Structure 1
Amino acid sequence: MPGPPAVVAPQAQVVGRPRPSWPGETNDCVELATAGGEIRIRESDIPADILTTTPGGLGTFIRAVKAGALDHLGR
């Protein structure tokens, strides 16, 4: 059964809400929304904390993660 729709901010359009994909995983998800040309990101279990970026900034971040450029931060 799907959870309630993600609401990041007034006038925000939800663009993605990944669902748990393996047994035992909680419903804590990263939620993305667009608002006024910005991308707003939050973690569902801490909804008050919202990271705001641009589409270009998010794209740069995703490419860096995929390329492994940030792997050293997790060590």
Structure 2
Amino acid sequence: MTDTNWQKSSYSAANNECVEIRTADGLVELRESDQGHLTIPTTPAHFAAFLQAAKSGEFDHHA
């Protein structure tokens, strides 16, 4: 498996409770920093679609 380092947002809290992301073997993986053993894999295309939807406010009614 070819891994890259986990990255977290510069907006993350000082207590390191955040969502982290990396690419591995052509997939995008997400995890919560305090639950590092649990990962969510997805394709780059699905992740890009999610980011676009979040940026456009599509999920704002869930907040």
Classify the TM-score, shorter chain.
0.7 to 0.9
> Which residue pairs with 1:7 in the alignment?
none
Kindly report structure 1 stretches of 4+ aligned residues shifted beyond 6 Å. none
Q: Distance in 2 between matches of 1:56 and 1:42?
A: 18
Higher helix share: 2
Q: Which runs of 5+ in 2 are unaligned?
A: none
Q: 1:38 to 1:14 in 2, by over 3 A?
A: same
Question: Across the two proteins, how many residue pairs are aligned to each other?
Answer: 63
Q: Is the 8 A contact 1:20 1:26 kept in 2?
A: no
Larger strand share, 1 or 2: 1
Which structure 1 segments of 5+ residues have no match?
1-9
SS of the residue corresponding to residue 2 of structure 2 reads: coil
Q: TM-score, normalised by structure 2?
A: 0.79
